[in-house]
Structure 1
């Protein structure tokens, strides 16, 4: 867990330095974890930082660099991610967002190396998502409503998977659905 948090802080510093951008928004959320397979039921707490779009990203529809963390309240898989988020206004107050990035997790890769009758293997097969890789892609779709000039409330769905690119073999993946509030910094 310490390495995961240290890596998140390092990724945040690198993202901000590389982007030469100002922190634009901080989001905090509550996430329903592993909503498809239910191997790792229980809530997650999430935090997300988004930066202003740096000039060099404007040619690809001005995405915002982000750093994201989803932390288990039940002792299951924790995830940190970094990538790019694109948003578009639907109305003056409602916007949709798509983001794509890469994540690191402290979950269970696989259990095939253990004997079939091993007690840890038997328990883990039914209580943990077997992700196949420490590195996973993260895709996210969300909608946020500007409650005031600074505060937003939103919902989102995210999917974590190695897609047979960042790993091979086992790919149980994780799907999460969350609610979040955001604080937008002013100019």
Structure 2
């Protein structure tokens, strides 16, 4: 039920982006990716830590507009919208934001793609304390399980920075190694901020 709801929300978001930014002929690009959910090696490498509590894979489905020429002052970004569905039905999310394709030399080879957006997750914003007084053994066990197996985001609304290293295979097709992070940034919530790191590969098809 939860996954179906997020798939529907994602379809609406992707459709809305396509209608809102499409040229007379369909423009932009679609992407699909497979990611390891809640990886820990990136957070450990940069000293930020990582939750490492949830498992499974994430399927990312998304759409990007062409470069927005009228936003030169912002570096002519592309707008992305996406939905992420977790195979274990834990923390799904939808996101939208800006990203920038930065070619290494002439267009048509390797490139970097940094991005920043906002996301909404159906994951746990707050976990109930397992040491609260008066709990039954069953309830205490349930809360303890959640503590070790669910991320406590602190907020359902989160920042969504991302970074990809891509290679343009042809005019239509690109492949990207992609990293996506979710965090409340101590702005949407003060306190718990375990966050989510996704790392994977995505295929990009230009219309």
Richer in helix (by share): 2
Distance 1:59 1:20, change over 3 A: farther
Q: Distance in 2 between matches of 1:12 and 1:88?
A: 24
Q: Name the structure where strand makes up a greater proportion of residues.
A: 1
Q: Given that residues 53 and 148 in structure 2 are in contact (C-alpha distance below 8 angstroms), is that contact kept between their aligned partners in structure 1?
A: yes
Deviations 1:125-154 (A, max 9, x none): 001111111111000010111112211111
| CA-CA distance at 1:161 after TM superposition | 0.2
Report what 1:99 is aligned to. Answer: 115
Aligned-pair Cα RMSD in Å:
1.9
Match of 2:187 in 1: 165
Deviates most, 26-35 or 48-57: 48-57
Which shows bigger deviation, 156-165 or 55-64? 55-64
Distance between the aligned counterparts of 1:7 and 1:103, measured in 2?
12
Gaps of 5+ in 1: none
Question: In the aligned structure 2, how far is the partner of 1:72 from the partner of 1:82?
Answer: 18
Q: Unaligned 5+ residue runs, structure 2?
A: 41-50
Q: Pick from 121, 125, 136: which aligns with 2:147?
A: 125
The list of structure 1 runs, each at least 4 consecutive aligned residues, that deviate by more than 4 angstroms after superposition, is: none
